[in-house]
C-alpha cells in the first residue's frame, strides 16, 4: 500500500493512555458488585464502599505531587491518572483535599478511575467547567459540594453506575440517623468516620452553610440534582436539621425531596 493509500488515523480523546492492554484485563482498577448494573432490581440493598485510602502508597504520593504541580503551573486541564502507572492507579480510591487548590482547572479528567468517593473539596474548584469521571465503575455518588462549582456546564458520567439512576433505580445506602435525634446522642467525632457507615472518613464543614460540623451533630441526606449534563446522587453532610430543610427539591423524575436512602419509593425505572 502506497503512502497515499494509508488510512487516516484520528485521535481517540477517550482512550486511557495508562492502559496498554486494551483487549485484556484491566489491572488498574477493582471490580464492583454493589448492585446489578444490567437488570432492574430496585429492592436489593446497597451499601457504601468500605475501602480506606492508603496514604503511604506510591500512587497516593505521586498523586499529591501531581496536584501540587498542577496548582503551581495553573493548568486548565488536569488528567492526573494518565500520569500514574496501572498499579498506582489501582491504589487511588479517593482524591486528596488539596484538589481545592486547583482553581484554574477547567477540565478535570478522571476517566476509568478506581475511585469509590470524591472529597467535598471539589467544591473549591471554582474554575471547573467540564468534569469527566466516565467509566469509573465504583463511583456511585458525589458530594453535595460539587454544586458550588458554578461554572460547571459539561459532565460525562456513566449514569448507569449511580445510585437511583433512572434506568435501573437501585436503592441508596441507608444513612445513619441524625445524632441529635437520639435520646442519648452518641458523641460522634466527624473527623474520624467509618466510610462503610457514613460514606466518608471525615466531615469537617457543612455541605450547605459551610460552618464546622460539631461533634455529635452530623445530619446526612441524599438528594438527586442535575449537575451540568447529568442528574447525580449527592450526599449531604449537614450541621443541622435546618440545613437539610434548606435543600432544594430533587430533579424531575427523581425522588422529590431529601431522603435517608434504603427502601425509599422511587419512580419506575426507564429500562429500554
In a domain, 96, yes or no: yes
In a domain, 220, yes or no: yes
In a domain, 7, yes or no: no
Dihedral, CA atoms, 83, 89, 95, 96, nearest 10 degrees?
Answer: -70
Asked if residue 44 lies in contact with residue 171, where contact means CB atoms within 8 angstroms, the answer is: yes
CA–CA dist 229, 120 (Å, integer): 20
In a domain, 190, yes or no: yes
Residues of the domain holding 121 = 43-245
| C-alpha atoms less than 13 angstroms from C-alpha of 93 in its C-beta half-sphere | 19
CA–CA dist 60, 68 (Å, integer): 12
Q: How many domains does the chain have?
A: 1
In a domain, 120, yes or no: yes
In a domain, 164, yes or no: yes
CA–CA dist 38, 78 (Å, integer): 32
> Could you read off the pLDDT tens digit of each residue along the chain, which spans 272 residues?
454 555 544 444 444 444 444 334 456 789 898 988 888 787 789 999 999 999 999 999 999 999 999 999 999 999 999 999 999 999 999 999 999 999 999 999 999 999 999 999 999 999 999 999 999 999 999 999 999 999 999 999 999 999 999 999 999 999 999 866 444 456 788 999 999 999 999 999 999 999 999 887 899 999 999 999 999 999 999 999 999 999 999 999 999 999 999 999 999 998 66
In a domain, 225, yes or no: yes
CA–CA dist 44, 88 (Å, integer): 33
Cα-flanking dihedrals φ and ψ of residue 37, to 5°? Answer: -95, 15
Please name every residue paired with 232 in a beta bridge, in sequence order, or none if there are none.
225
End-to-end CA distance of the chain: 44
Instruction: Give pLDDT, residue 58.
Output: 98
Q: Assign 171 to helix, strand or coil.
A: coil
**pTM of whole model > 0.85?**
yes
Q: Which letter does DSSP use for residue 158 in this model?
A: -
Asked if residue 130 lies in contact with residue 151, where contact means CB atoms within 8 angstroms, the answer is: no
Instruction: Give pLDDT, residue 188.
Output: 85
Amino acid at each position: 500500500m502506497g503512502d497515499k493509500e494509508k488510512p487516516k488515523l484520528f485521535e481517540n480523546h477517550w482512550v486511557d493512555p495508562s492502559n496498554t492492554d486494551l483487549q485484556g484485563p484491566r489491572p488498574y482498577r477493582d471490580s464492583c458488585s454493589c448492585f446489578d448494573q444490567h437488570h432492574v432490581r430496585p429492592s436489593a440493598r446497597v451499601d457504601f464502599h468500605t475501602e480506606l485510602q492508603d496514604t503511604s502508597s506510591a500512587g497516593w504520593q505521586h498523586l499529591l505531587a501531581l496536584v501540587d504541580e498542577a496548582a503551581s503551573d495553573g493548568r486548565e486541564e488536569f488528567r492526573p491518572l494518565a500520569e500514574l502507572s496501572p498499579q498506582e492507579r489501582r491504589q487511588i480510591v479517593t482524591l486528596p483535599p488539596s484538589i481545592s487548590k486547583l482553581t484554574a482547572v477547567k477540565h478535570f479528567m478522571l476517566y476509568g478511575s478506581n475511585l469509590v468517593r470524591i472529597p467535598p473539596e471539589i467544591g473549591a474548584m471554582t474554575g471547573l467547567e467540564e468534569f469527566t469521571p466516565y467509566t469509573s465503575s465504583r463511583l456511585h455518588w458525589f458530594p453535595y459540594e460539587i454544586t458550588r462549582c458554578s461554572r460547571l456546564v459539561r459532565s460525562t458520567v456513566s449514569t448507569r453506575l449511580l445510585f437511583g439512576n433512572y434506568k435501573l433505580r437501585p436503592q441508596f445506602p441507608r444513612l445513619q440517623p441524625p445524632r441529635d435525634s437520639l435520646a442519648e446522642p452518641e458523641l460522634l467525632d466527624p473527623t474520624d468516620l467509618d466510610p462503610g457507615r457514613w460514606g466518608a472518613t471525615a466531615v469537617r464543614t457543612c455541605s450547605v452553610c459551610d460552618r464546622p460540623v460539631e461533634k455529635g451533630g452530623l445530619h446526612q441526606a441524599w438528594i438527586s440534582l442535575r449537575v451540568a449534563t447529568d442528574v447525580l446522587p449527592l450526599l449531604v453532610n449537614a450541621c443541622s436539621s435546618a440545613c437539610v430543610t434548606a435543600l432544594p427539591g430533587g430533579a424531575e423524575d427523581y425522588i422529590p425531596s431529601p431522603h435517608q436512602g434504603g427502601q425509599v419509593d422511587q419512580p419506575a425505572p426507564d429500562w429500554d
